[in-house]
Structure 1
Amino acid sequence: MGNREDLLAGAKRCLYEKGYARTTARDIATAAGVSLAAIGYHFRSKEVLLNTALHQAMQEWGEEIERALSADTDPGTTPAQRFETTWDRVIASFAAHRAIWVTQFELIAQIDRLPEMREQFVASMNAARLGLMEMFQLAGVKAEGEDRARVVGSFYQTMLGGVLVQWLVDPEHAPTGRDMAEALRIIAGDIDADPAGRD
């Protein structure tokens, strides 16, 4: 690896171990085994390096989940079973990547003071909507058309954020894939029910 790759690897390690705000340029240089000057040369600033490392870490998480979902898809399973399995795998990934999710929430809490991060988060969220939609399409969930895909992707993004918060704070009582599938069945039934009792 060259200095640039070493810096990214060192920055990711620091994000996992210390979080965003507590990581210094010296921490990254030490973890990467390079000089402080290398940060400015390759990334202009510590912030640009950390932002790049965080983005790369989130991409790696998405690729890992996609691999897990496509590895052993059984064509005999029902859409509900695939939905449950998909969420169980997403939830299981939170443990392996807990530190990076904590860092995400650390940054969201400071977003009003970090306008450059807001721009990056907006771009990442837009890409995440499509990515989540594609991920659940692997699980048999389809949404035809760009607008429908955006709406459904936004819904999955909302669910992901909510489950993640519950898992970070109280994993013992956070919902499972089965809980989420059952909740959707109940909600869909309530929405479809006609309060006037008409057919």
Structure 2
Amino acid sequence: MKKLLVLVVLCIAGYCLYNADALYGQYLFSQMCKKESGARFYKKVEKAQGWRMDKIYSAYDKKHLGLASNLHRGFVRFKDESGNQLDARLKAMPPYGTSRDVINSPEYTLIEPANLSVPVRYTEKYINEEFNPDPRWLKKQSFGKNQVQIIDLDANEVVASYTGFGYRWTTSDRVILNAPTAVTCPENTDDRKTFGSNIYTHGEKK
């Protein structure tokens, strides 16, 4: 019985030593998730304001002009492929359940030369980065961060954000049968789905 117990203890100790770096990385990852992941609301976003898009898109880029179909936004200012500034806004309220493609069509979305006398108030910033919080000990681990920030251009400050993290605890050669080596947080992404509407009602995360 003692030999069996010793064998079990040695196996556990060997596993911990072999995966000490991965376990340490998992600890750091869990702390990031606990302290930083998910939605953060610092100030309420005002409705019916202009929003700026920092990238250049074609006039009816259906993937991105969906921003204009957000009923709480007054308009979205962007540049076309020639560098002309344009404003996109809803010109008619679509029936409930109308598809995004239809909303983005000329039937509902008006695109016209930007009225530069009316300033934009907000913009979105997307951050995607890989990093290593402790390169001295973590050699085979990788961390990733993705974040969307809502920025008040008047105050030059972030008024809301949503942050997610990813952690790959080892390389594929250290696992059997290509077992999963990556985890992400937050696990519950319900607040990501409602983030775009909650920015108008949540002034501070409790």
Which category of TM-score, normalised to the shorter sequence, fits these structures? under 0.3
Taking structure 2 as the reference length, what is the TM-score of the superposition?
Answer: 0.21
Where is the strand percentage greater, Structure 1 or Structure 2? 2
Structure number with the bigger relative contact order (C-alpha 8 A, sep ≥ 6) is 2
Decide which structure has the larger Cα Rg and report it: 2
Taking structure 1 as the reference length, what is the TM-score of the superposition?
Answer: 0.21
Where is the helix percentage greater, Structure 1 or Structure 2? 1
